[in-house]
Chain A
């Protein structure tokens, strides 16, 4: 099965004055539909940069990033639309206004694309999907850490992306809440064929993933493709191969 997302020999450096910091060095990575790939690394290892490059938010210095076969580093008509509708980015920062209702925040990505009624209906469904429908009418300031995390996942899922990218979605959660979030992503991957690329702050959170990787000094050490039993669990979703 061809991958949803593919990073091929990507490298990325930052310059601070005369000093070059190599963040990604010849990193290759695939994420398929229905598959969760979890990346662990110490603070400052380059996890967030890897996710930004994967989401097309930052261009690599070298290498190719492609989504469903489309090169993300080559601007073309429709590319921005594809990225905005097909890749969901889980932002843990939440809305700018602490007083915003959870359902309004989740509906935000649909504004201008759907009627207000339709946006709120889909936001309500996304909140239900992550198990926090009862938070819909509560303000952001009144939500607990785990509720905020789940609302942020709903915010990323509301446009029904084919790939979800999440930066430490389980940070600041206790072990039971972490299990809940990982279980939720695993269910979305297995039932809806969602591809998930996420970073994790600790290794136990990797246990819900199909493939795992360790990032350090710009190098990614990734587990081999799953064995036959994993192949059975990764579902082929032919409808996911859309063209621009």
Chain B
């Protein structure tokens, strides 16, 4: 998934300058929007491929501001965008650092990984809370535009991914505790420690 397709789509909707495109992209794509640098890099690539044309704005002379470069889609750009939007969408395999750490961890490192799983679950909950704030501000009902409906769909897919992540983190934590309980002697040296007897790491809220 390349930023050039998203930037080109916005330029086709209406000509705009780089800063405006980045702002619109952030509003449209939310958490996975690209950085401003990536937007300018995409515009350069699209200009080189003659998929967009760049023109100096003429309204800047009256306001005394520096002229801005306004980007418009070329016919070739529209055709390129159509080819992308009607083409197949690749399913990208998620790759998370915590999974890699699990694979590479030695048993004595599991308590620390249990703590990490709790911290990551806290991150998921904070992200869900941020999405909840967005959802409360969002327009609802039949008066929604397509971009608002699409934003809701994008939010929903992120919520579902977060739910799966939280479920997996909880299961991973239970499994790690169970493994430790089966491979660790209890305080009396005779029985293994039950999972709920293992110290629960405390989460320190961020400042």
Taking beta carbons and an 8 Å cutoff, which residues of A are in contact with B?
A: 20, 22, 25-26, 40, 42, 179, 183, 186, 202-204, 206-214, 216-219, 221-224, 226-227, 229-230, 233
Contacts and interface: CB of A to CB of B under 8 A. Distances in A.
B133 A226 contact: yes
A214 B133 contact: no
Contacts of B170: 42, 214, 216-217
B163 A209 contact: no
A229 B195 CA distance: 40
Contacts, number: 77
A227 B160 CA distance: 23
Contact of A208 (B124, B135, B167): B135
Contact of A207 (B122, B135, B200, B205): B135
Contacts of A186: 136
Nearest to B134: A207
A213 B125 CA distance: 7
25 contacts: A25-B196, A25-B200, A26-B200, A40-B163, A40-B166, A203-B162, A203-B163, A203-B166, A204-B156, A206-B128, A208-B132, A209-B132, A210-B132, A212-B132, A214-B121, A216-B170, A217-B174, A217-B196, A218-B196, A219-B118, A221-B118, A221-B121, A224-B129, A226-B129, A226-B133
A222 B205 CA distance: 10
Report whether over half of chain B's contact residues are helix, strand or loop; otherwise say mixed: helix
Interface in B132-176: 132-133, 135-136, 140, 155-156, 159-160, 162-163, 166-167, 170, 173-174
B126 interface: yes
Interface of B: 118, 121-122, 124-126, 128-129, 131-133, 135-136, 140, 155-156, 159-160, 162-163, 166-167, 170, 173-174, 195-196, 200, 203, 205-206
A110 B178 CA distance: 50
A177 B155 CA distance: 19
Contacts of B162: 203
Nearest to A203: B163
A224 B170 CA distance: 20
A227 B206 CA distance: 14
A224 B126 contact: yes
B167 to A, nearest CB: 7
B133 A229 contact: yes
A183 B126 CA distance: 21
Contacts of A203: 128, 159-160, 162-163, 166
A214 B129 contact: no
